[in-house]
Structure 1
């Protein structure tokens, strides 16, 4: 890993593109304290934040933040950074934060990304167009059918905006479709939803 690399870094800059905007946000000490008190009261101890300056990706039409590089977000994606190796499949490009992290690992040889939004591909994907290890496909992971001989060392599926039990049905369907095409697979937030690991990802013995 490069000595200058900091987990959570991203190549993108504040920018409006399509139905999306990447913008810088500042979280004050008081805002972080109030937010964390509310999260603790609701039992969401894994969803805390810290004060500082961060980037977030927001959908303009809905006003909804779909991802950021806050410590809370990093924590929920850390398993993907740690487990990535060899040939990797990622569902969801976002701000390219996890892609950036995986590319610092010499053991990662190829990353195929399935991203449903062309505007995100055109803006975020452009920062990675010269890296021969990166392949970006415009498509919906729910409709993507891997070939019979398509195999990955690791699969990371991160397509949900919220940590919600309503996601579990989709997680189960995707797990069934891809578990025979990888050595190891994780789905974002499955652990926070209380899913049993052996039910939702395959680990080689």
Structure 2
């Protein structure tokens, strides 16, 4: 489930770097990945960080806000926000369908951040926020492959589902697949 992997120096890859954006670079080192049923859902490679930046930048504009994240993954986005005083939200609600991910990642974050983090074991497509709940920011990140054919339709479904729970003023929804594809130019 949680695994470490190594990126090694590759001279052929280095030769290609001049043609690639700098944030795509895979520096040699040891990294983490979340794997379920043989599918890699998330890594902590720099391009994963980079393609989460839209949500992180907006969070800095909404300090002390209420945020919703669908999909916990390695918890990179959640932990980044909770440990940064310039954008620390009042609370982040994370909806994650995998009990294993909640046990492996969520329990660690809950012990560290307490009441600032609410973990919900549920499917993002069916979870219903409590009556009257509103979120300043909503970030959808439940897909292992941002280019899979069903992703665009599923993003639209989630955005429609959660639109009534977006704060009426300055509320915002975004998704990792859209940011990833925009960063890669497709």
| Distance in 2 separating the partners of 1:123 and 1:94 | 10
Q: Deviations over 1:119-169 (max 9, x none)?
A: 111111121223220110101101112345220111111011112143100
TM-score (ref. length: structure 2)? 0.79
| Distance in 1 separating the partners of 2:163 and 2:32 | 31
Task: Tell me how far 1:185 sits from its aligned partner.
Answer: 1.3
Which residue of structure 2 lines up, in the alignment, with residue 117 of structure 1?
Answer: 98
| Distance in 2 separating the partners of 1:26 and 1:193 | 23
Matched, 1:173 2:157: yes
Out of 48, 52, 77, which is 1:73 matched to?
Answer: 48
Which residue of structure 2 lines up, in the alignment, with residue 108 of structure 1?
Answer: 89
Structure 1 pair 34–143 and aligned structure 2 pair: CA distance change class (3 A): farther
- Per residue, is there more helix in 1 or in 2? 2
Structure 1: give runs of 5+ residues left out of the alignment. 1-19, 195-205
Out of 11, 14, 20, which is 1:33 matched to?
Answer: 14
Matched, 1:135 2:110: no
Task: Tell me how far 1:28 sits from its aligned partner.
Answer: 1.6
Conservation of the 8 A alpha-carbon contact between 1:54 and 1:68? no
Conservation of the 8 A alpha-carbon contact between 1:57 and 1:95? yes
TM-score (ref. length: structure 1)? 0.72
Number of aligned pairs? Answer: 169
Matched, 1:149 2:132: yes
| Distance in 1 separating the partners of 2:52 and 2:181 | 14
Conservation of the 8 A alpha-carbon contact between 1:36 and 1:49? yes
Structure 2: give runs of 5+ residues left out of the alignment. none
